[in-house]
Amino acid sequence: MDVVIQIIASGLTLGAMYAVSTVGLSLVYGSLNMLNMAHGALLALGGYICFYTMTALGLPAVVGVLAAVVVCGLVGLLIYVCTAAPLLGSPQFETGVFIATIGFGAVVENVILRMFGPQPQPQSLQVPGDIVIGNVHIPNQNLLILAVALGLMVAMALLLKRSRLGRAIRATAQNREAAQLMGVRVGQIYAIVLALSGGLAAISGIMVSSLYSLLPNMGGDPMLKAFIICIVAGLGNVTGAVISAIALGLLEATAQYNLGVQYSFALLLFLVIVVLIWRPYGLFGRKQVVRL
C-alpha cells in the first residue's frame, strides 16, 4: 500500500511538471505548426534566472519566479521574431523553423554554459518539510509543484475558453486565413503564444531544477518527454496533452520503481515509437485527410 501511495505521489508530481511544459509546446504547435526545439533551453534559462535573482541578488522567491517568467517570455518573443516570423508563408516552414530553433536553442544553452559554468547547482527555491500519509513522507516541494501546476492548467483553460485572446488563439489554430479575414491579427497572436509558452517553460524549468539540479543542458530530457507527450496526445491537442502528461508521469514512476531509473526513459521512448507506428496522429488526435 505504501508503495502505491509513493508511486502515485511521485507520478503525479512528474506528470504535473511535464504538463506545464507540454501545454506550452502544444499551444505553439497547434497555432503555428511549429516544433520549438529551443524549448529545452528556455527551461534551463528559467531555472537559472530564478537561481540568479535569489542567490546573487538576494531577492525573495516570488521575484525570482516572476523574473524568470518575464525573461523567458521575452526570449520566446525573440524566438518568434528571429526564426518563425521571417519564415512564415514559406513552403517549407515546418522544416525550416525546426532547424532554426535547434540553432536558437544551442545559442541560449551555450550562453548559459558560459555564464554559469558546467557544474550542477542546487535550485535555491526549495520548500522545507513534508507531510506523512500512512508511512510515506511526501515533501512539501512536490505538493507545491502539484498545486502550482493545477493552478496554471486552470488558468490556461480559462484563458483559452473564456477570454477574447483565447478565442483568437483558437481561431488562428483552426484556420489561419479565416481568422485573418475576421480581423484577428495573426502575427500578434503568434507572438503572444510563443511568449506564453516561454513563460510556462520558465515555471516548468524551475520545477524540474528544484527536484534535480541546475545544469545548462538540463532542458533536453524534459523537452523530449514533452514532445513524447505531445505525440501521444496528437500534436496541438492541449487537453489531450494534460491527460497524457499525468498518465506518462504515473507510468514513469511505476517503471522507475519496477525496472530501475535507467530504463524508464528508454521505455517511454519505445512507447512513443509504438504509438507513432500504430496511431500516427496520436491517441487523441483526429485523422487528417490530406487534400492534394
CA 247 – CA 283 distance, rounded (Å): 12
C-alpha cell at 228: 513524447
Give phi and psi for 128, each to the nearest 5: -80, 170
Choice between 146 and 225, CB closer to another protein: 225
With beta carbons less than 8 A apart as the criterion, state whether 21 and 201 touch: yes
State whether residue 217 is helix, strand or coil: coil
Name the residue among 19, 20, 28 with its Cα closest to residue 191. Answer: 28
Quote the least distance from Cβ 261 to another protein, whole Å: 8
Q: Which position among 5, 94, 144, 180 is part of the footprint of another protein (CB under 8 A)?
A: 94
Residues in the chain: 292
Q: Can you list the positions of beta strands (E) in the chain?
A: 130-133, 136-139
Q: Is 258 in the site for another protein (CB under 8 A)?
A: no
Among 59, 87, 127, 283, binds another protein (CB under 8 A): 87
User: Minimum distance between the CB of residue 254 and another protein, rounded to whole angstroms?
Assistant: 18
Site for another protein in 140-179 (CB under 8 A): none
Please identify, among the stretches 90-98, 157-165, 181-189, 200-208, the one whose residues bind another protein according to the rule CB under 8 A.
90-98
Does 235 help bind another protein (rule: CB under 8 A)? yes
Q: Are 223 and 28 in contact (CB under 8 A)?
A: no
**Greatest extent of the chain over all pairs of C-alpha atoms, in Å:** 61
By the rule CB under 8 A, 283 interacts with another protein? no
Residue 240 to residue 218: CA distance in whole angstroms: 25
Residues 252, 257, 263, 265, Cα dihedral to 10°: 20
Task: Pick out residues in 107-146 that bind another protein (CB under 8 A).
Answer: 107, 109-111, 113-114
- The helix/strand/coil state of 133 is strand
**Binding piece for another protein, criterion CB under 8 A, among 60-68, 102-110, 124-132, 248-256:** 102-110
- The nearest distance, CB 33 to another protein, in angstroms, is 8
Binding residue for another protein, selected from 145, 231, 242, 251, defined by CB under 8 A: 231
In the complex, the residues that contact another protein under the rule CB under 8 A are: 29, 33, 35, 82-83, 86-87, 90, 92, 94-100, 102-107, 109-111, 113-114, 220, 224, 227-228, 231, 235, 262-263, 265-266, 269-270, 272-273, 276-277, 280, 292
